[in-house]
Amino acid sequence: MKNLKQSVFIILGIIVMGCVEKEDLCCGIQETNKLSGTWLFYERGYSPGFGYITEAIPSKPAQMVTIGDDDISSTVKGWEQLKYYRILTDPDAHTQYVALYVNDPGAQPGTPAPDVQTYTFDLQNNILTLRYRWCIEGCHMTFKKIE
């Protein structure tokens, strides 16, 4: 039984090593630190008031967002009307966040209005995590780069 487990781990190790070539870490796509591309929404997390729940997003229908230089198109439920984004810096916390807009906010928008969706973000290994800025529990949406 011990030899079987070792064999399985060795084979899995060889497969993983073969897949990670030239920083190709996810989905056959080169690792990047840019938001541009097409992203698949696959996980969300929230707190109903106690604990923290993480849920997988159903794969059908696929919910995706395509991010361009300053525009977006989305099939993510509730985001269909959003067309623009800007990366802004919180003047108090000195951290970056992304703001999503229905209408073009211009090149240098000020502080977003309360109805504008804003998220802090983390991008690692072609996984984009958006966290609701004002959610104390750490509510999040996670996307995997597919293009």
Ordered by start, the domain boundaries in the chain are 1-31, 32-145
What topology is assigned to 32-145 in CATH? Answer: Lipocalin (2.40.128)
For residue 77, give Cα distances in angstroms to 44, 80, 87, 113, 142: 12, 7, 22, 21, 14
pLDDT given for residue 15 in this prediction: 40
pLDDT one-digit tens code per residue, 73-106? 999 999 999 999 999 999 888 899 999 999 999 9
Measured from the Cβ of residue 67, the count of other Cβ atoms closer than 10 Å reads 20
Is 55 in a helix, a strand, or coil? strand
Closest to 68 in 3D by CA, of 98, 112, 111, 36: 36
Query: What is the pLDDT, as a whole number, of residue 20?
Result: 40
